[in-house]
Amino acid sequence: MVYDLMMQLTKEQIQNYNDNGFVLLTECFSKAEVQRMKMRLPGLFAENTPKRVLEEQGKTVRSVHGVHTTDEIFQRLSRHPQLVKPAIQLLGSEVYIYQFKINAKAAFKGDVWEWHQDYIFWRKEDGLPTPRIVNILVCLDDMNEFNGPLFFIPGSHREGMIDVMAQKTSNQSQTEEECPAWMSNFTARLKYSLNQELVGDLVSKYGTYSIKAPAGSVLLFDSNIVHASPNNISPFDRAVVIVTYNSIENIPLPVPNPRPEFLVSRYYRPVEALSEDNLLIENLILQ
């Protein structure tokens, strides 16, 4: 019961989320829970599948997508009450998992994420009707000023979706098979990035904020907040999981070229939260 209340956001936290477009919750997952998740990474990063995106140099893993459907520990995380309950609270309805990704941001090698908003990708590529969707990030490593932390422009979500022109991002010499069109949403050159002038204007208006958070922290952020992260030149990895929960009242409309299921789930069943200790249980029967 005490746990249950801890996993609900307080009025003040909801207020912060609404005002700033994000809220950081520290000490959500224990060292043992983080360890259990981190142990999964080498195996997942070694799997050569379309779910895996490499950095531009073609060697280091940048992201893996959709592994909550295949990896039991990450499936459990995606159904953890520490994520699911705040998502339901913020969206005011039942939720389903829209997207699941692990961003590796490896020591010395992790590349930038240019300034962008998330909702524009989901609206233009996936037909998502409204921004009634929330990102919940879990830090698997400490995130600090050295290892490519997330930068926010606090309050910028209140601008709504900024309708920027799509950038030409893919390498012309590569075939569709080598570099599918959706890839440009996940490489360092993003399709809907914001130009420098726009970022300058938004920063003069709202300022900037750099996230500093120990491993095990949870960061909730709005799909319209302008954010970015610099490259990681430090010797410290900065892995995060980002689970995106969508309201079941905000199902995407049909689009001509739907992106793969591992990027945009069309499994609309509401998520049922597991117990708060689920990451540490040895043999959990999932259904």
**What's the DSSP call for residue 39?**
T
CB-based contacts of 144-147 (< 8 A; 24+ apart in sequence): 144/212, 144/236, 145/210, 145/212, 146/232, 146/233, 146/234, 146/236, 147/105, 147/107, 147/110, 147/232, 147/234, 147/236, 147/237, 147/238
Q: How far is the CB of 11 from ligand SIN (least distance, A)?
A: 27
Q: What is the CA radius of gyration of the chain?
A: 18
Contact window for Mn ion (CB under 5 A) among 9-17, 111-119, 244-252, 276-284: 111-119
Under rule CB under 6 A, residue 103 binds ligand SIN = yes
Least distance from ligand SIN to the Cβ atom of residue 151, Å: 9
- Residue 209 near residue 121, CB atoms below 8 Å: no
240 is a site residue for ligand SIN (CB under 6 A): yes
Q: What is the torsion angle, in degrees rounded to the nearest 10, for the CA atoms of residue 252, residue 257, residue 258 and residue 260?
A: -160
Question: Taking CB within 5 to 8 Å according to partner kind, which of Mn ion, ligand SIN, none is near residue 100?
Answer: none
> Which listed option, Mn ion, ligand SIN, none, makes contact with residue 152 (CB within 5 to 8 Å by class)?
none
Residue 4, token pair as written in the block: 């249950």
Instruction: Provide the token pair at 120.
Output: 């524009």
Angle at 285 (CA atoms; ends 279, 286), nearest 5 degrees: 80
Q: How many residues does the chain have?
A: 287
103 binds, among ligand SIN, Mn ion, none (CB under 5 to 8 A by kind): ligand SIN
Q: Does 150 bind ligand SIN (CB under 6 A)?
A: yes
Helix or strand or coil: residue 168? coil
- The nearest distance, CB 202 to ligand SIN, in angstroms, is 16
Q: Is 125 in the site for Mn ion (CB under 5 A)?
A: no
Select the residue whose beta carbon is closest to ligand SIN and give its number: 229
Nearest approach in angstroms of CB 227 to Mn ion is 6
Residue 247 phi, psi dihedral angles, 5° rounding: -65, 140
Q: Which option in ligand SIN, Mn ion, none does residue 68 bind, with CB closer than 5 to 8 A by kind?
A: none
- Tell me the site size for ligand SIN, rule CB under 6 A: 8
Among 22, 113, 122, 209, binds ligand SIN (CB under 6 A): 113
Q: How far is the CB of 116 from Mn ion (least distance, A)?
A: 6
Judged by CB under 6 A, which of 227, 241, 247, 271 binds ligand SIN? 227
Looking at 55, 118, 141, 237, which residue binds Mn ion (CB under 5 A)? 118
- Shortest spacing between CB 135 and ligand SIN, in angstroms: 7
Choose between 56 and 72: whose C-beta lies nearer to ligand SIN.
56
Question: Which residues, 6+ apart, have CB-to-CB distance to 98 below 8 Å?
Answer: 122, 128, 133, 244, 245, 246, 264, 265
Per CB under 6 A, residues contacting ligand SIN are 103, 105, 113, 150, 227, 229, 240, 242
Binding site for Mn ion (CB under 5 A): 118
